[in-house]
Amino acid sequence: MVRISTVLSLCLIACGPSGADYAFERPEGCEMGCDDAGTDAGLSDAGPPEIPDEPLEDWDVAGAGPLSGVFAVEVTIPARAVVEVETRQLYRMRILQRDETLRMKITPCRFALPSVPSVATLSIPPRLETVLRGIAIEEEGPFLSAPEPIGATVTTPRSVVLLGADLADPEGDPLPTTEMPETALDQDEDGQPGVTVAADTVLCRTPGELYLALRATVEMSAVIDDLDRIEGGVVPTLDQSVLGVSDRCLNAAASLEIELLEGSRFTALRAGAIEDYDGNGNVSCPEIALRAVPLFGDFWAAP
Amino acid sequence: MRRTLPLPLALLTGIALHATPALADVENDLGLNARSAALGGAVSATGGDFAASAYNPAALIVPGDEEGLGELSVGFVVGVPSVWTESLDPGRTLEVGPPLNTTALTLGGRFDIGSGLGVPGLMLGFAFYAPMDGLVRSRIGPDDALSWLQLGDRTSHVSLHASLAFRIADWLSVGAGVRITFDEEAFITGAATDLRRVIDPATGEERVEAGTRLGIDASIYGRASPILGLLVAPVPELRFAFAWRGRLYSDDWGWARLQGLEGVGDIGFIHRFTHVYRPHELAWSVAWRLHERVEVSAELTWALWSEAVSPTWRSLEGRFGDTLVPAGGVRISAHPGLDLMVGYRYARSPFNDFGGPTNLLSNDTHHIGFGLEADLDTLVDGEDVPFTVSLAGRLAVLEDREEIKNGRRFRSDAALAANPGSPGYRYGGLVPSVQLTVETAW
C-alpha cells in the first residue's frame, strides 16, 4: 500500500508539463483572436485614428490668390551613412498668397531618420512626433517671383527644426555633446537628455534608445506649373549629436556618420477634403501623416 | 577569397545548419545494445553486460561473474522513423522536415581489472556509440518552426561511456561512470572589404551586399556527464538497483562577426544551441529470476525535464515537465542457449506547446521491444564458438497528438496568424528499429 501511494504521489508531480508557469499574453476571450490588436498593433489594426481638433489658423483670407491653401510636403534627402540611404520628412505648409507676397507657415509632421537597412534603424517615437508638431515656422514676405503663380518661382523661408537643444542661435550655435551638455534640453520630457529616438540595430537583442540633439534645416524653391502639385529642389542640412544611449550595444549605431548628398527634392501636394479626416476645414499634421501612403507612397507605411 | 553576401543573413548562413532539433538520447530511444532494446530499457538491475556502463555502472558486475572475466561486443543498429503531420486547416501545408534515419555502430566491453590489480570485484566497462553518417550531426531551427523535438538528431552524436563497478560484498556493488558527449564551437569571422546597396533581380527587394573575407574556426570538446549506481542482491535470484544519470547535452555555440565596417565597426551575433539533451534521471529497478528459465525486470525512471532547455537554449517556462517512465521486460530461456526477450516502455511527452508560439512536436510514446539471444557455444555441439548473437527489434509508437493554437498565448492576432502552426495540427507516427549485437567472452 505504501508503495502504491508513493507511485501515485510521484505521478502527480511527474506526469509531464502542466503549463502552470506559462503565462498568457492576452486576457480570456482571445482564444480565437481578439478585436484588440495586442502589443504588436500597427497603424492598420489599431482602430480608428484619433485626430486632435486643430482648427485652421485664423488668418484673414480676403483677396487670397490661387496658390493659397494647405499643402502636404514631402522632402527627400539622399545621404550616406556607410551606404547610401535616404531620409524623408513630411511637413504641413499653409500658404496665403497676395500677389508676390506669401504668408507661409511650415510645420514638421514626420521625420524618417537615416537608417541602414537591416543594420540600424532609427525612428521617432510618438512622444517626439508630438514635440515635432509643436514646432512651426511662420513668415510673410515676397516669396513668389511674380503675382501670377503659374510660371513663377516660389521660395520658402528657411525652416529650422531644432530638437533636444536650447540654443541662442538655433541655426549657428553648436549642438550639445556628451562632453558639453549644458545646452541639451529634455524636450520630450522623458527624463533623458535631448530627445529620445528609437534604435533597432543588429547588435542589440531588443530595440533601444538614442538620446539626441538634432537640427534640420530646409529651404525649398520651385517653378510652379501646377497649382496643386509643386515639385522642386531643397537645400537641406542635417546635424545630430548623440547625448547618450540606453545600452552600450547601440554605440555602433551612435557612431554612424551621416553625410548629406546632392539631389534633395520636395513634392508639395494640395491637401483637400479627402485629407481632412475630421472634416473641420483644416488639414492638420496628424491628417497628413495618416494620408502619407496614398499621397507619397509606401515609404511611409507602418513597418 | 571574396564573397558577396546579404549583410545580416550572410552571417547566419555561415552556420549553414537547418531544421529539426532534438532532445533525447540513444539509451532511452534505441537501447545501447540488442538486449536493452528488447527489454524496453528495464536493465538497470539485470546488468551483466557492457550496457550497464550507461544504465547502472554498479550492474557491470553481477552475481555469477567469474574471476578474470572479459567481454567484447560489437553491435549495429538501424532506425527508420515514419511520421506524419497534418494541419487542422485543410488548405494549409505544414513545413516540417522529416526526422533523420539512424545507422550506427556500438562497441562495448567489460573487464575484470580487479584480478590484475589485486582488487577483487573491480570491473571496468565501456561503450562507444558511433553514428555511421557522421560522428556529430546537428540540426538547428527556431522553436516556432515545426520540428520533431525527440526525433531529430538525437542519435546522430557520437558518445562514449566509461564506468567502474566495485563489488563490496556478494550482495552489494556500487558503480560510477561518465557519459561523454561533445560540444561544438564555431567562430566565423569576416573582414569587410566593401558595402553596397543592390536590387535583388529576382525579388526586386533592396538589400545590402558586403564583400568579405571569411575565416571559420571550429572546435569540438568533450562534456562529461556523471552516472552513479547501486546494486543490491539479497539473494542471487533477486536484484534491486538504483541509478542516477546526470544531465547531458551537447553545447553548440559560437559567433559570427563581420569586422571593419566603415562607420559602424563590428557587427555580428553569438549563437547557442543544445542538442541531445537528456535531463537528470533517477531510476529504480528490480530484476527477479522467477524460474530458472524466466527472469522479469521492472524499472521506474524519474526524468527531471522541468529543468530542460529548448534547442535554442530557452527554458520555455511551464512547457517542459518532469516525467515518470515505467518499463518492464521478460526474458525466457526457450531452449538451452536460446533466450527470447520482450519489453515495454512508456514515455510520456515531457513537452507541451499549450497552444503557444512554439511548435516542437513531441508525443507520448509506447516502446515495444522483442528479441532473441543465441549463445552459440551452447547451441553448437562439440565446437568452441565463444560468441553470443542478439537480435532485437523495437517499435516506438508515437501516440497521435493534437495541438490547437490559443490566441491568448500570442501578443496579437497578426502573430497568431503568422505562426507556422496556426491554427493547429495533428501528428504521430512509428519509429521501428533493429539492432544486432555480437558478444564474445573469455
For chain A, the domains span: 62-300
pLDDT for residue B6: 37
Interface ipTM > 0.90: no
Q: Which of B266, B286, B416, B422 should one mutate to test binding to chain A, selecting the residue with the greatest count of A CBs within 10 A?
A: B416
Q: Is A228 on the interface with B (CB under 8 A)?
A: no
CA distances from B422 to A99, B326, B409, B411 (A): 63, 34, 12, 14
**Rounded CA gap, B322 and B108, in Å?**
31
Q: Is B410 on the interface with A (CB under 8 A)?
A: yes
pLDDT for residue B37: 96
Q: How confident is the model at residue A117 (pLDDT cuts 50, 70, 90)?
A: low
pLDDT at A44 > cutoff 50: no
Residue identified by cell 507511485 is A7
Residues of chain A with Cβ-Cβ distance to B319 below 8 Å are 17, 19, 22
Mean pLDDT of chain A: 82
Contact B263 A81 (CB under 8 A): yes
| pLDDT-above-90 percentage for chain A | 26
pLDDT at A247 > cutoff 90: no
pLDDT for residue B414: 81
Residues of chain B with Cβ-Cβ distance to A33 below 8 Å are 407, 413, 416-417
pLDDT at B194 > cutoff 80: no
Contact B264 A41 (CB under 8 A): no
Q: How confident is the model at residue B14 (pLDDT cuts 50, 70, 90)?
A: very low
Q: Which domain holds residue B173?
A: 3-441
Q: Is B350 on the interface with A (CB under 8 A)?
A: yes
Look at strands B147-148 and B360-361 and give their pairing: parallel
CATH of the domain at B34: 2.40.160.60
Contacts of A1 (CB under 8 A, 6+ apart): none
Residues 161 through 220 of chain A touching chain B, CB cutoff 8 Å: 202-203
**Rounded CA gap, B359 and A280, in Å?**
51
**Rounded CA gap, A268 and A224, in Å?**
11
pLDDT at B254 > cutoff 60: yes
**Rounded CA gap, B256 and B10, in Å?**
9
pLDDT at A108 > cutoff 90: no
Q: Is B196 on the interface with A (CB under 8 A)?
A: yes
Contact A25 B411 (CB under 8 A): yes
pTM: 0.62
**Rounded CA gap, A79 and B403, in Å?**
50
pLDDT at B208 > cutoff 80: no
Q: How confident is the model at residue A5 (pLDDT cuts 50, 70, 90)?
A: low
pLDDT for residue B250: 85
Residues 255 through 274 of chain A touching chain B, CB cutoff 8 Å: 255-257
Residues of chain B with Cβ-Cβ distance to A79 below 8 Å are none
pLDDT at B395 > cutoff 90: yes
Q: Could you tell me the three cell numbers for A225?
A: 506649373
Q: How many domains would you assign to chain B? A: 1
* SS3 label, residue A95: strand
Mean pLDDT of A34-60: 62
pLDDT for residue B275: 84
Contact B262 A15 (CB under 8 A): no
pLDDT for residue B238: 94
Find the CB nearest B197 among A31, A41, A83: A83
Contact B352 A17 (CB under 8 A): yes
Count of beta carbons in the 10 Å neighbourhood of residue B12: 15
pLDDT for residue A236: 87
Q: Which of B404, B409, B419 should one mutate to test binding to chain A, selecting the residue with the greatest count of A CBs within 10 A?
A: B409
Q: What is the pLDDT of residues B158-175, one digit of tens each?
A: 889 999 999 999 899 999
DSSP state of B291: E
Contact B407 A26 (CB under 8 A): yes
Q: How confident is the model at residue B217 (pLDDT cuts 50, 70, 90)?
A: confident
**Rounded CA gap, B47 and B64, in Å?**
12
Contact B323 A203 (CB under 8 A): no
Mean pLDDT of chain B: 86
Mean pLDDT of A185-191: 87
